[in-house]
A = this chain, B = another copy of it.
Amino acid sequence: MKDIRLNKRKIVNDPVYGFINIPSDLIFDLIEHPYFQRLRRIKQLGLTEFVYPGAVHTRFQHTLGAVHLVDSALSVLRAKGFEISKEEEEAVSIAILLHDIGHGPFSHTLEQAIVEKYSHEELSLLYMNELNTQYNGKLDLAISIFTNQYRKKFLHQLVSSQLDMDRLDYLRRDSFYTGVSEGVVSSDRIIKMLSIVNDELVVEAKGIYSIEKFLIARWLMYWQVYLHKTVVSAEQLLLNIFNRVKELISYGENIYLTDEIRFFFSNSNKNTDIKEMLEIFAKLDDNDIFVLIKAWAKEKDRVLSLLSGNLLSRHLYKIEIQNDPFNDKIIKKHSDIALKKLGFTEQELHYFVFTDHISKNAYSAFDDKILIAYKNGNLIDITEASDMLNMSILSKTVRKYFLCYPKEII
């Protein structure tokens, strides 16, 4: 019995942290589960590699990294005298391990396009419940933490809050793989400054600069990476491909689909057995999407084949971004040229010329604060504690408008 335990103790090489320990047998088993292994085949940043070729890291790596950070945070908190039991340790590790298990391929883009009924968070919880059944209730505490029903709220906050280990890992990891040094977060320093007051996660006062840096890094990563205009253009292209396929199917056209995608396209609004749905969704990964697009590039529908071929050869929309909505005149101008020059119909036009907006704020005090703990016992929200940054600006939603149109019409 002891031997098996020892065999399961694994160390994983990780380019970001050096080594990651798998903290328990149950966690090792969950990692080995096909539901989880699937994350090896789902890229963390989807099409971002079109702009940052290095950014091909997977949700699998990210999740292990987040487990590692939770592990570090627990060590720091224990060393400061806070009691955390073995059971709580394992439970919070499981909660963060599985927090992204509901993500499908190219999640940010296709989340609504494949499974219409559930968000990825809801899917994560469904998977956790299913795994809890498979493992005879051993995930009870993890689920309680994940859903924020456990009294030690700080455990939930390590998994999901303005300063959770999820964000700490993805900012640092995305920064590492894209090569955008702006996002490098000193996760070590932040974790060393964590403490607990009234069962809530707080940051010691001398960590205030690191928190400021963290919020700014997030903001910068949004504009340099997550909302990079070429990435947005690629994602819009992928989304339009899926929209066109669905439209054609609704007309009764016979479009090539894999069994799994057909299941979701035809069943998404009906009552299906959840377990069956989870099993089928777990078969999907990035590979399917690319193979489908390669097949669709050969379909006879001109819109679908053109869009699909464009994605494969990275022939993206031209995209313009500005602070205000685009006026109708400029949209009309591009539409007219597209109609004339490329020969699309009015009904097809919206696949090629369209406008929308993106938006983000780096910090939102409303849903969840980052509390700074002073030696005198005061707890102050970072927006007030910081004398450097006008946090009202970081917490203000910035909205940007984009206009996409074919490169050929310029």
Interface, chain A (partner B; CB < 8 A): 11-16, 18-19, 32, 34, 37, 40-41, 49, 51-54, 56-58, 60-61, 64, 176-182, 184, 186, 188-189, 192, 209-210, 212-213, 216, 219-220, 223-224, 258, 283, 285-288, 290-291, 294, 312-314, 323, 387-390, 393-394, 398
Of the residues B53, B291, B388, contact of A14 by C-beta under 8 Å = B53
Establish whether residues A177 and B323, one from each chain, have CB atoms under 8 Å apart when the complex forms: no
With both chains docked as a complex, state the minimum distance between the C-beta of A143 and any C-beta of chain B, in angstroms.
Answer: 24
Establish whether residues B15 and A178, one from each chain, have CB atoms under 8 Å apart when the complex forms: yes
Give every chain B residue within 8 A of A209 (Cβ-Cβ). Answer: 182, 220, 223-224
Of the residues B53, B61, B312, contact of A34 by C-beta under 8 Å = B312
Of the residues B53, B182, B285, B387, contact of A290 by C-beta under 8 Å = B285
Instruction: Give the docked Cα–Cα distance between A33 and B242 (Å).
Output: 25
With both chains docked as a complex, state the minimum distance between the C-beta of A378 and any C-beta of chain B, in angstroms.
Answer: 14
Give every chain B residue within 8 A of A179 (Cβ-Cβ). Answer: 13-16, 18-19
Asked whether A56 and B56 contact (CB < 8 A) given A179-B18, A388-B223, the answer is yes
Cβ contacts A to B, 26 pairs, < 8 Å: A13-B179, A15-B176, A15-B179, A16-B54, A19-B192, A32-B313, A34-B312, A37-B312, A37-B314, A53-B61, A56-B56, A56-B57, A181-B184, A182-B210, A182-B213, A184-B184, A209-B223, A213-B216, A213-B220, A258-B291, A285-B290, A287-B288, A287-B294, A387-B398, A388-B398, A389-B389
Establish whether residues B53 and A40, one from each chain, have CB atoms under 8 Å apart when the complex forms: yes
Give every chain B residue within 8 A of A283 (Cβ-Cβ). Answer: 294
With both chains docked as a complex, state the minimum distance between the C-beta of A367 and any C-beta of chain B, in angstroms.
Answer: 21
Give every chain B residue within 8 A of A389 (Cβ-Cβ). Answer: 389-390, 393
With both chains docked as a complex, state the minimum distance between the C-beta of A323 and any C-beta of chain B, in angstroms.
Answer: 7
Instruction: Give the docked Cα–Cα distance between A387 and B323 (Å).
Output: 9
Instruction: Give the docked Cα–Cα distance between A294 and B288 (Å).
Output: 10
Of the residues B32, B61, B192, contact of A54 by C-beta under 8 Å = B61
